Structure formats: structure tokens, C-alpha cells
Amino acid sequence: MSWLYSVGKIFFEILFFSFTNCRVQGKENVPREGPLLVVANHMNLTDPPLVGISIGRKSRFMAKRELFRSPLMSFILRSVGAFPVNRQRFDREILRQVEETFAMGFPLVMFPEATRSKNAKLQRAFPGAAMLAARSGVPLLPVGITGTERIRGVKSLLTRPRVTVNIGSPFHLPPADGKLTKADLSRYTEIIMAHIAALLPAGYRGVYVQRGE
């Protein structure tokens, strides 16, 4: 990660804390060091930098590969710690990037829904986060975001929308009985999304409304 990471961090700190009514809860739950898989709900393009700023640790990010088509955008994203992923499947290169991230002790931020929610409610999640957590054994840190769905261009910032980042306690997935199966990944995904849902108001829980109780 280059100097652009530090510049971007300062830029987004100014953006969020000057032009939104931003509040971060549960920051004491973030481990100070060691690998970490950060999982959060996703509603806005600003969510990745918001999560990175909120946990207060230099982090890496997964981003859909379509964003890397432009050479300039690819350079910027890679410079701030992002790497491209195929949302449908993880290939060897992605797994290598993840292993490298954890080996260096960095948090990895990802959004299990793999896309932005258009109605601000949790959508059915993909099993990618569950697979990475089960393979690596690293702790997961759940994060619930509210309010970024109201950020719709520069004009919306003039109203200083209220944005809240609620950070939960780290947790581990239970061990699988033998070889990891699709049923295991489905169960683990439900566990992960239940932790995220518990950090959100009921109106944001979507298909996981019962899991957040």
C-alpha cells in the first residue's frame, strides 16, 4: 500500500466527519493487531473507506473486478489496498492475496452480500466470507452500517446525513465436521449474517430479520 492510502484516509476522514453526522460505536472491540476478517453490510460506494476509517487499522479490501478495467482506477484501487475479485467464485490468485493479507497481519474488509443493497436492507449473502474464515481460522469482526444509503451525491452532504458504524465483538466460526461442505458454508454464512444483523436496526435486516433477534 502506497502513500495514496494515507492521503485517501485523510480525505475520507474529512468527508465523513465534516459533511455527515458520523458516529462510530464499539471501536474498543477491534483487536489492535493480528489478521482479521471484517464483514459488513453494503449500501454505498463510501462503505469500504468508512469501515477502514472506523476500525482504525490499515486494511485491505476486496472489490469487484469490473472496477479495475480502467488503468487509472486500477492503479488507485491497488494503491489503497484493494484487489479484484470475481463475485461468483474465488480463484487461486484471490486465495493467494487473502493468505498474504492474513500472513502480514492485516485486516481484510469484505461485504458478504457482494453488491450494494438498493433498498438498504440485507440481501442474501454469498458464501465467500464463510469459506475464507473457515479456511484461515482468523477471527471475524462484524460491522453494521446505517445511513450511507442517504449519501446520494454532493447535494446530500449539505444536509449532513446521520451515519452510524456499529462494530461488534470478534468471533470464530465453529469447526466443521471433517471436510468443508456446501452445507457447512451455508450454515457459516447464516452465522456471519446473524452477527451483522444483530448490529442493525430491524428495518435494515432484510432477509435476515429473524437472525438479528
Q: Say which amino acid occupies 46.
A: T
Query: In angstroms, how far is CA 18 from the centroid of its own chain?
Result: 23
Assign domain 3-208 to a CATH class: alpha beta
Q: Is the dihedral of CA 127, 129, 135, 138 positive or negative?
A: negative
Provide Rg for the chain, Cα atoms: 16
What is the spatial distance between Cα 75 and Cα 183, in angstroms, rounded to a whole number?
38
What is the spatial distance between Cα 106 and Cα 33, in angstroms, rounded to a whole number?
8
Predicted local confidence at residue 103, as pLDDT: 95
What is the spatial distance between Cα 207 and Cα 16, in angstroms, rounded to a whole number?
29
Predicted local confidence at residue 79, as pLDDT: 80
Predicted local confidence at residue 1, as pLDDT: 57
User: Do residues 193 and 211 make contact, with C-beta atoms less than 8 angstroms apart?
Assistant: yes
Enumerate residues 6+ apart whose C-beta is below 8 A from 110.
37, 38, 39, 61, 62, 128, 129, 132
Residue spans per domain, the chain: 3-208
User: Do residues 116 and 44 make contact, with C-beta atoms less than 8 angstroms apart?
Assistant: yes
Per-residue model confidence as pLDDT tens for the chain (213 residues): 567 788 888 888 888 888 899 999 999 999 999 999 999 999 998 999 999 999 999 999 988 788 788 888 888 888 878 888 876 677 788 889 899 999 999 999 999 998 999 999 999 999 999 999 999 999 999 999 999 999 987 778 788 999 999 999 999 999 887 788 999 999 999 999 999 999 999 999 999 998 655
CA angle 9, 10, 12 (to 5 degrees): 65
* Secondary structure of residue 45 in the 3-state scheme: coil
Predicted local confidence at residue 91, as pLDDT: 77
Residues in the chain: 213
**CA atoms within 13 A of residue 185's CA, in its CB half-sphere:** 14
